[in-house]
Chains A and B, each alone.
Chain A
């Protein structure tokens, strides 16, 4: 009787708790506080935090792999494997991030980008942060695939970060995902000082020409043209760019209302839950509590800052050669983080001039940044994958 009771006590989580588990539980509670209490990217940080909490409660076996035994011709299942292990296959096999991209495409209006093609260049410039951080990470001793996964945090695109990291450095998934989503939430704090530092008051007051109206036919042609161009040049970008453009085609073609609504709502919400929970669940004490995680967090914010600065500086450079001036504040929106980065451009612009409406102008580089970071991810995969 006493022996059975002792066996039960030994099987409880209390008896299996280590300091690592304790620390991870505290980190998960902190993420939950950020999501719920401070409303920082709650749609992602709440499932990530809770997934982290669940798998770090000892003894749950939620991330346990199945154990199979082959005896003769038959396959015997010794242990069935944890729920999170199976859901995690959606990340591991690169399924969830492209599905989220399909929802993002269905939610995004590429009209501002089509109306102002120069926005594409600003979206490209902002990717410079990814590459400079890549070099920084190599200097700090990370391997090339690890450095690429850290650099992509500067793209400020959660699904792209998750996708590339699962393909190149899955052991760093939780750290890069937490860094990407946390910094996306901190865009209104990180970007304005950099934007103000690199621009003059006069530049911040530039009023841009009104965007031309874009016809529905242009909006339908756009995703098809982007898909063909990007995938011919960079086939490895197909899962992300292809799904992004498919979602956008649903939105713009006008004949797939049900598919658009599903992509915009049910599908993206369901996949976000699974992605968030499983990314959190992949954060074990062994993989998360080390110096590399601190390095990822530090380099991630550096990538973000350099990306912001590059977009602003290219806008200033373009102003030297073009007649229709660009307000350099919209260059910072090239770091993706749709639509928060565009809103930041609007807010900072209006601080200088109340009647200046930059939001729609900033949406151009903002959505170009999404395409740009997906292209960089495809390129990194082509090189290191």
Chain B
């Protein structure tokens, strides 16, 4: 009888501990689900305001030199022109 009582006590403690630890893990997973689901939905629900999206982009500090950009644009235009007219032209 003592052995059975001992076994039952250990079973009760054991199952309680296992369920408790895994319930804590369940709660942690649920919290993660809430946090990451909210994060995943953010772009769809419009994290940025429409007005902000419509505003023209302002020049940023890391943008390139305007002269350099103009040179690149001119070079691209010349390349397109040459492709249309053929090699040797212009």
Q: How many residues on chain A are close to B (CB under 8 Å)?
A: 39
Interface of A is mostly: helix
Contact of B4 with A134 in the complex, beta carbons under 8 Å: no
Given contacts A229-B21, A368-B22, contact A218 B36 (CB under 8 A): yes
B82 touches A (CB below 8 Å): no
Contacts of A117 in B (CB 8 A): 26, 29-30, 33
Q: How far is the CA of A113 from the CA of B48 in the complex (A)?
A: 32
Task: Identify which of B10-18, B49-57, B70-78 touches chain A.
Answer: B10-18
Total A-B residue pairs with C-beta atoms closer than 8 Å? 95
Q: How far is the CA of A24 from the CA of B4 in the complex (A)?
A: 34
Q: How many residues on chain B are close to A (CB under 8 Å)?
A: 28
Contacts of A383 in B (CB 8 A): 10, 13
Given contacts A221-B32, A226-B25, contact A134 B19 (CB under 8 A): no
List residues of A (147-189) whose CB comes within 8 Å of B's CBs. Answer: 147
Contact string against B for A residues 229-267, beta-carbon threshold 8 Å, 1 for contact and 0 otherwise: 110011000000000000000000000000000000000
The chain B residues found within 8 Å of chain A, CB to CB, are 3-4, 6-8, 10-11, 13-15, 17-26, 28-30, 32-33, 36-37, 40
Between-chain CB contacts (< 8 Å), 28 pairs: A117-B26, A117-B30, A117-B33, A120-B22, A120-B25, A120-B29, A121-B19, A131-B10, A131-B11, A135-B7, A138-B3, A147-B7, A215-B36, A221-B32, A225-B25, A225-B28, A226-B25, A229-B21, A229-B24, A229-B25, A233-B17, A233-B24, A234-B17, A371-B22, A372-B22, A375-B18, A375-B22, A379-B13
The chain A residues found within 8 Å of chain B, CB to CB, are 113-114, 117-118, 120-121, 123-124, 127-128, 130-132, 134-135, 138-139, 144, 147, 212, 215, 217-218, 221-222, 225-226, 229-230, 233-234, 368, 371-372, 375-376, 379-380, 383
